[in-house]
Amino acid sequence: MWNSFEGYYQQWCRNGHVTNKDIGYRQDHTAGVCPICAESIVFRNFVEDDDPSNCDRVSLDQFKITPETTTKDFKCVDGVWEHITRTVFGTYRIPTNEEIKVLRQNNQNK
């Protein structure tokens, strides 16, 4: 009999993009590549959603290098003006093992 499982990985790529990869009990746990820039995933943090005392999620605010920005503009395509939206994804530095340890301890004390 299989147990229920829900969770995800917070993943940092070489360029500092952070994405979440949902996983289930029998799904692929390989890191793969960044869906934003296709660079290698260089750091992952596992977060288990099933555990009500879960303290594994890392708040990204203190690791932010550049914020995500979105701009809206118009562009002429074949004589027709179209709305376009450009998103520049934020980047984050990879937390050290010591920082992760402290964050988890702080979360458990809340």
Would you say the pTM of this structure is higher than 0.85? no
Per-residue pLDDT, 28: 62
- Answer yes or no: is 55 within a domain: yes
In this predicted structure, the answer to whether residue 1 has a pLDDT above a threshold of 50 is no
What dihedral do alpha carbons 88, 92, 94, 100 form, nearest 10°? -130
Give the residue ranges of DSSP H helices in the chain.
97-108
Residue 41 maps to a domain: yes
Whole-angstrom Cα distance, residue 56 to residue 8? 10
pLDDT at residue 67, as a whole number:
84
31 has pLDDT over 60: yes
13 CB-contact burial (10 Å; exposed 0-12 / middle 13-18 / buried 19+)? buried
Per the structure, the complete domain to which residue 75 belongs is given by 6-108
pLDDT in tens, 67-84: 888 888 888 888 888 888
pLDDT above 90 (res 16):
yes
User: How many contiguous H segments (helices) and E segments (strands) does the chain have?
Assistant: 1, 7
CA angle 75, 80, 81 (to 5 degrees): 35
If you average pLDDT over residues 34-51, what whole number do you get? Answer: 84
Q: Is residue 1 part of a domain?
A: no
Q: How many domains does the chain have?
A: 1
Whether 87 is covered by a domain: the verdict is yes
